[in-house]
């Protein structure tokens, strides 16, 4: 999957817990990662996790593009009905990133936003 140059998203690999993990790379360097986790109770509702390791890699659009690619994979390859995630309310950059990809908050608990995107919500 292609991200803002020179970052790339690796091909998915099983994470050993029933989900899929991806590396976010810049050249030979891994700068972050993301995962799609499967739910035993609702197998077509996947949890998304995404992170960038260094502060210097943030704010460049890499996270938004990685999360977009992850959601596209969930809907296009894995036929998910929904993708959800958790974002701390104090992490405004991650909240903006998720909202750009189409996630909406469906509940808040203890300052954490529980967000979801469905194929109809995706990218607006």
Per-residue pLDDT, 104: 96
Q: Which helix (H) or strand (E) holds 59?
A: none
Domains parsed from the chain with CATH numbers:
7-117 (3.40.630.30)
pLDDT in tens, 28-83: 888 888 999 887 788 789 999 988 887 776 777 888 888 898 898 889 888 899 99
Q: Taking residues 103-119, what's their average pLDDT?
A: 94
Q: Cα separation of 9 and 70, whole Å?
A: 9
pLDDT in tens, 9-28: 677 777 777 788 888 888 78
Q: Taking residues 75-100, what's their average pLDDT?
A: 91
Q: Cα separation of 66 and 50, whole Å?
A: 8
pLDDT value at 118 more than 80: yes
Angle 65-105-108 from CA coordinates, rounded to 5°: 130
Q: How far is CA 39 from the centre of its chain?
A: 16
C-alpha to C-alpha distances, 56 to 33, 53, 82, 116, nearest whole angstrom: 15, 9, 31, 28
């Amino acid at each position: 999957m292609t991200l803002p140059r020179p970052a790339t998203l690796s091909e998915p690999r099983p994470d050993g817990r029933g989900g899929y993990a991806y590396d976010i790379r810049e050249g030979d360097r891994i700068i972050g990662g993301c995962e799609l986790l499967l739910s035993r109770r609702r197998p077509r509702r996947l949890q998304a996790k995404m992170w960038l390791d260094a502060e210097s890699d943030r704010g460049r659009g890499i996270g938004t593009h990685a999360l977009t690619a992850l959601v596209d994979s969930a809907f296009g390859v894995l036929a998910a009905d929904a993708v959800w995630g958790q974002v701390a309310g104090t992490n405004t950059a991650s909240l903006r990133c998720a909202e750009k990809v189409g996630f909406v908050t469906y509940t808040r608990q203890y300052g954490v936003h529980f967000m979801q995107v469905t194929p109809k919500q995706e990218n607006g």
